[in-house]
A and B are shown apart, each in its own frame.
Chain A
Amino acid sequence: MKTSKFNRSTCYKIVSVIVIVIFAIAFFFPLYWIITGSFKTRAAINSTTPQWWPHEWVLDNYDKLFSKQQAPLWQFHIPFTGIEFTGPIVPGAIRWLINTVFMSVMSMILTCITAAMAGYALAKKRFVGRKLVFTLIVCAMALPKQVILIPLLREMSALNLYNTMWAVILPIVGWPFGVFLMKQFSEGIPGEMMEAAKIDGASEWKTFCTIVLPMVKPGIGALAIFTFINSWNEYFMQLIMLSSTENLTISLGIAKLQAENATDFGLIMAGASLAAIPIIVIFLIFQKYFTKGITMGAVKG
């Protein structure tokens, strides 16, 4: 009796693992198809019999991608002076990639700084109105952030930020998930350490920098990678806020390629590889932090 039960559960386990492996292959397949597709010849792509593995690896699609839509490598102007620095002309796809990196890095840095400070205050400071602020944050998180895009667009136009990266960055920084996450991490700081610093005469700011920051470092790591990946892939907001070719992000760039060359799948896959590979590599490197961020955000969610 006992052995048969044991066998049945082992059996279930083995069958489940096999089915899950099949699912995993299916989940991996689109990525495989993007990457191999970007190296296939036009004939291979336009054949009704798919080549599961490219017979011939070519760079034609990348050539085409990089020969389309030129833009300066960077454009930087000093406010109120009219002085502008413009970089050398490069393929649009490179510029899109640079825009995306700039946007994601800026969102990440600003989010980490503001969220670390606010999370600490919410967790450790007993100030008037703390409950109200926290309730607002939780309620805002439960609402769909896309519904505020229409007013945001008008606000950004009024601020003269429409069609700049800042129109995408600022709302990402405002999204309160980071504050919520950092509050969870800051709650673990023992109060005695801060008391000790206070007795030693350290200022609030010094206490924050020398005691709090080192203790919430894992949290900041998690938030940084989380914000980076999310802003890289935040398509809807980019779509609404950015319009001119030189200001597109890589996601918008691919969408544009698809709109202009609907069935040139090789070209589109080359663009998709360019968008997906950097972010996947970053994800794989920082995967541990990322997992931690997701799970910490859920505790007491």
Chain B
Amino acid sequence: MEKKNPMSKALVRRETLAGYSFMLPSLVFFVGFVIYPMIMCIYTGFFDSTMNREDIFIGISNYKELFQDSIFLGALKNTVIIVVVSVPVTCIFSLWVSSVIYNLTGPICSAFRVIFYLPVVTGSVAVTVVWRWMFNNYYGIFNYIGNKTGVLDRNINWLGDEKYALACIIIILLTTSVGQPIVLYVSALNNVDQSLVEAAEVDGATKFQCFWKIKWPQIMPTTLYILVITTINSFQCFALIQLLTSGGPNHSTDTIMYYIYYNAFKLYRYGYGNAMGVILAIIIAVLSALQFKMAKSE
């Protein structure tokens, strides 16, 4: 477009000046509080850094230590479990719910959307404290219901038992992560080209075929976006862990995000925490790139 319509140098200069004047306030915040800390994160990863003392350059020792730190490797494993379970479940569940509710009458559809979004709005802390109560050993309703229906024969200390704690965390995480995908899918499904669907129906396609051959390709960009944001969110799962289990029992619910917090803000090992942050960012970046690649090739 710029080639078709060559601009004079003066015009370019004027546009650039105006452009940056409008960008300036935002750039100040963006560079000051996002870009600069990101650079510092990478930089301090190479230092032994803590409170009230000069940082000491130690090269890649932090990274070397990381891969010998069995707690970090355990946290990495837990994080991967959370992501591997929660991302597909979130996507499939929200696609299913959306495909059923998107063509219900307006108010009913938006009532469903609001209800599935409520746990997100309620806020991670309020949601977490109530789940902590529901999972409680003595006063929780899960033990009550389990005992009443005969599924359980004794009270289970859900969050205090290595076998169940991570599963409980994943369940709570799921309730707080399907809200946004449902909103996105409902709007994407409503934007599907209806004439194509009708044409296919006239040709005798089943509902199932209609969905996979016509609607699915059209909502692919939405699916991709949902995959990316759900992956990022699952990797960042923090409030739940900090408020429910603090990584316990016996590190069975440690995640990278919680372990970063623990090292940086409990042990004051800033450099080590930053090195972990860099690893986490690299993992997320690689995964996002892979997801884009996969979506492109389809």
Contact = CB atoms under 8 A, between A and B. Distances in A.
Contacts of A265: 133, 136, 139
Nearest to A269: B130
Interface stretch (B65-73, B161-169, B273-281): B273-281
A214 interface: no
A295 interface: yes
A121 B126 contact: no
B41 A142 contact: no
Interface string A4-28: 0100010001001100100110111
B123 A117 contact: no
A74 interface: no
Interface stretch (A60-68, A80-88, A231-239): A231-239
B277 A148 contact: yes
Chain B: interface size category: 35 or more
A203 B175 CA distance: 50
A298 to B, nearest CB: 5
B139 A175 contact: no
Contact of B243 (A115, A229, A258): A258
A255 B243 contact: yes
Given A254-B125, A255-B125, A126 B2 contact: yes
A189 interface: no
Contacts, number: 274
A109 B110 CA distance: 28
Contacts of A240: 265
Contacts of A252: 125
A117 B25 contact: yes
B97 A272 contact: no
Interface string B256-281: 01001100110000100110011011
Interface residues of A, number: 96
A143 B235 CA distance: 11
A30 interface: yes
B278 A34 contact: no
Interface stretch (B56-64, B84-92, B221-229): B221-229
Nearest to A127: B19
Contacts of B126: 34, 251, 254, 272-273, 275-276
B101 A120 contact: no
A130 interface: yes
A136 B35 CA distance: 9
A301 interface: yes
A19 B278 CA distance: 42
B122 A298 contact: no
A272 to B, nearest CB: 4
B37 interface: yes
Contact of B16 (A34, A127, A171, A232): A127
Interface string B99-134: 011001000001011111111111111110111111
A243 B90 CA distance: 35
Given A27-B118, A125-B22, A150-B44, A144 B134 contact: no
Contacts of A175: 34
B100 A16 contact: yes
Contacts of A260: none
A144 B232 contact: yes
11 contacts: A9-B207, A28-B115, A37-B133, A118-B26, A151-B36, A153-B265, A258-B129, A269-B129, A272-B126, A291-B110, A295-B183
**4 nearest A-B residue pairs (beta carbon):** A127-B19, A147-B277, A118-B26, A125-B19
